[in-house]
Amino acid sequence: MSQQKNSSTTQKDSCKQTKKEFSAFRQLIKESTAIAASIAQLTNDLQTTIPPKSTGNKKEPYFLNQYVIEKDINTNYQNFKLIFDQSSDVIFRRLRITDRNNTQIFICFIKGIVDEQRINNYIVRPLHHFTPDQPESADLITQLQQHIFTAIEINVQTDFDEVINGILEGNAAVFIDGFDQVLLINAKGGKTRSVEEPHTEVTIRGSRDGFTELNLVNISLVRRRIKNTNLIIEPFILGKETHTNIAIAYIKGIAAPAIIDELKYRLNKINTDSILESGYIEQLIEDHPFSLFPTIGNSEKPDKVAAKILEGRVAIFCSGTPFVLTVPFLFIETLQTTEDYYSRIYIVNIYRMIRFFSLFTTMVLPALYIALETFNQEMVPTVLLIKAAAAREGIPFPTFIETIIMGILFEIIRESGVRLPRQVGQAVSIVGALVIGEAAVSAGIISAPMVIIGAITGITSFVVPPLQESIIIIRIFLIFCSATFGLFGVIIGMMLILTHICSLRSFGIPYFEPIAPLIWTELKDTIFRAPLWLLKSKPKLFTVNNLKQKWNTLIKRTLNRKRGTK
C-alpha cells in the first residue's frame, strides 16, 4: 500500500513537474515567436533602409520565393496556368517526346513578343523528331540542350522569377517532366520600329541612325561604334509593375568608379511602380529635382551617346524609349552638338558663338526690351528711341503686358503646332503669324517692335533645344525682374540665375565646369572648339585618368552629403 501510495505520490509529483515544464515550455515558445517576429521586423527594416553594401543590380522580383520550380511537370503547369490565368496571348504547348519514358514537356511563351517561326523551327520540330538513339549517358535536359534544340541562346534556369522574367521578355520556356530546371530559349521577335533618323536631333553631317524602343537594338548601335572589350553593359530591372529593362553602359578604365557606384546606388534605390520612359528615371535620380536646369542629358543619337561614353560618362538605356540618358551632364553640353566635331573648326566656332548668343538673346531680350522701353530710355540711341516711341503711340497696353501677351501667344502657337498633325500644324502657324504679325499691329493693339522682339525671342529659343524648358521660365522671371526694377533688375535676375547654375551638381560634378570651377585645359571645348588634335585629354573630373586628389575628395564629399540627406 505504502509502496502504492508512494508510487501514486511520485506519479502526482511527476505529473506536476511535467505540467510545470510544459507551461514553461509554452512560455518559451511564446517568447521565441515574439523574438522571431521582432527579428524578422528588424531584418526587414534593415533590408529596406540599408541596401546591401556591395550592390548587385536591382531586379524587381515577381513572386519572391512564393513559388518554386517543381520536378513534377503537372505542378509547374498548374502554377503557370494560375499565374497567367486567362491571358489569351500566353501559349502553353504540351507534348510528349519519344524517349524511353515518353517524357512530358510543355513550352510556355507569349505570342507577339516571340518569333513563332523560330519556336517552331528550333524547339517544336526538333522535339517531334526526337529519337533517343543517342547514348543516354547524359540526362535528358543536357541532351536536349546540347543536341536537340538548334537555338543559339539557351539558358538553364531553376529560379522561378528568372523563368517568369524570361517568358515576359520573349523567351520560350521549356519545362521537362522530372527536372526542376527550365530551359529558356531566346526567341525574341515581334513587331518593333526599325532604326530611323531621329526627329529631335537632325544633322546635316553625321550618322543618320537613331535609337529605337528596343534596348537590345540601342545597345548594339553603341556597341558597333565602340568596339572595345571594356565597354560594360550592366542590366537592371526596375518598376514593380512594369519590370522595365534598364541598362547602364560605360567604359571600364575611363569612367570614374565613384560615378558608376553612385549611379548604381541611385538606380537601386528607385522605388516605383512603373517606368515607361527614361524621363521617369531622370526625374527619380537627378541631383536637383526642383532646379530649372536639367542635370541629366538625353539623346536619340547613338554617335552622341557613344561620344559621351568615350568621354567617361555613363549612359542609361531604358527599354520602351529611344531617349538614352547620360550622366554626369554639364551645362556646356547643352550648347554642343555632334556636328561641332564632324565639321571643320571655323564654321563650328561661328555656330558655337551664335548658339551662345542665341541662348543669351532668348533669355534676356524681352526683359531688356522692357527695361529699355520703360526704365532706361537713356540707353537707347535717340533715333531708335524716337522710332520706338512712334511705334508705341496709341498702343493701349503697357510694354510689360504687351510682352507677356506676345510670349503667351507664341507659346500657344508653338504648343498647338507641336501636337497637331504636320499639315494642320502649318495652318496653325500661318494663322498665328498672320494674326499677330499683321492684324494686331495694323489694328494698333500690339506695337511693331514688340512683334519683332517676340519673333527673335521665339526663333532663338529653338537654337538650344536641351534648355528650351528652362528658358521659358527664366525668360518670364527676367521679364518680371525688369518690369519691377529695369536694367538693374535684369542684372540682378541674371546674377541669381548664374549663381544657381554654379551651385548645381550633376552626380557630384560641378554643373558649370569647366568655367566654374575654372579648369583651363578644358576650356578648349567651351565657347570655342579647338582643333581635334588638341582635344585629346578627357574631362578630368569624371574620368579615372588625371583625377587630381583635390577634385576626388570634393566629389566624394558632395556625394556623401547627398546620400545623407536622401
Please state the closest distance from residue 487 (CB atom) to another protein, in A. Answer: 11
Considering the complex, what minimum distance in angstroms separates the CB of residue 197 from another protein? 46
Least Å from the CB of residue 115 to another protein: 57
Cβ closer to another protein: 375 or 511?
375
End-to-end CA distance of the chain: 81
Shortest Cβ distance from residue 382 to another protein (Å)?
Answer: 4
Q: Considering the complex, state which of residue 137 and residue 382 has its C-beta at the smaller distance from another protein.
A: 382
Among 297, 302, 486, 508, binds another protein (CB under 8 A): 486
In whole angstroms, how close is the CB of 486 to another protein at the nearest point? 7
Which of 407/508 has CB closer to another protein?
407
Q: Give the torsion sign (CA, 443, 447, 452, 455).
A: negative
Residue 450 vs 504, nearer CB to another protein: 450
CB 410 within 8 A of CB 529: no
**Nearer to another protein among residue 387 and residue 562 (C-beta):** 387
Considering only residues 455 through 484, tell me which ones interact with another protein, judged by CB under 8 A: 483-484
Distance of CA 289 to the CA centre of its chain: 14
Question: Which cell numbers in the block locate residue 108?
Answer: 510556355
Give long-range contacts, CB 8 A cutoff, 24+ apart: 252-257.
Answer: 253/544, 254/230, 254/310, 254/311, 254/312, 254/538, 254/543, 254/544, 254/545, 255/309, 255/312, 255/313, 255/314, 255/542, 255/543, 255/544, 256/312, 256/542, 256/543, 256/544, 256/547, 256/555, 257/544
Q: Could you identify the residue written with the cell 523551327? A: 121
Q: State the nearest-atom distance from the C-beta of 389 to another protein, in Å.
A: 4
Shortest distance in whole angstroms from residue 396 CB to another protein: 10
Main-chain phi, psi angles of 360, to 5 degrees: -65, -45
Q: Using H for helix, E for strand and C for coil, what is the string for 244-268?
A: EEEEEEEECCCECHHHHHHHHHHHH
* Of residues 291 and 552, the one with the C-beta less far from another protein: 291
Judged by CB under 8 A, the chain residues 151 through 170 that form the site for another protein are none
| Residue 371 Cβ vs another protein, minimum distance, rounded to whole Å | 10
Give, as ranges, the residues between 345 and 404 that touch another protein (CB under 8 A). Answer: 373-375, 377-378, 382-383, 385-395, 398-400
Closer residue to another protein (CB): 394 or 421 = 394
Adjacent-strand bridge partners of 188: 114
Task: Please state the closest distance from residue 494 (CB atom) to another protein, in A.
Answer: 16
265 or 485, CB closer to another protein?
Answer: 485
Kindly tell me which residue out of 240, 456, 485, 552 binds another protein, with binding defined by CB under 8 A: 485
The smaller minimum CB distance to another protein, of residues 403 and 526, is found at 403
Task: Please count the other Cβ atoms lying within 10 Å of the Cβ belonging to residue 555.
Answer: 23
What's the count of helices (H) and strands (E) in the chain, helices before strands?
Answer: 19, 12
* Diameter of the chain measured on Cα atoms: 137
Specify whether the backbone of 239 is left (phi greater than 0), alpha (psi in -120 to 50) or beta: left
3-class state of residue 525 by DSSP: strand
- Encoded one letter per residue, x for contact with another protein by CB under 8 A and - for no contact, window 407-446 reads ----------------------------------------
Residues at the interface with another protein (CB under 8 A): 373-375, 377-378, 382-383, 385-395, 398-400, 483-486
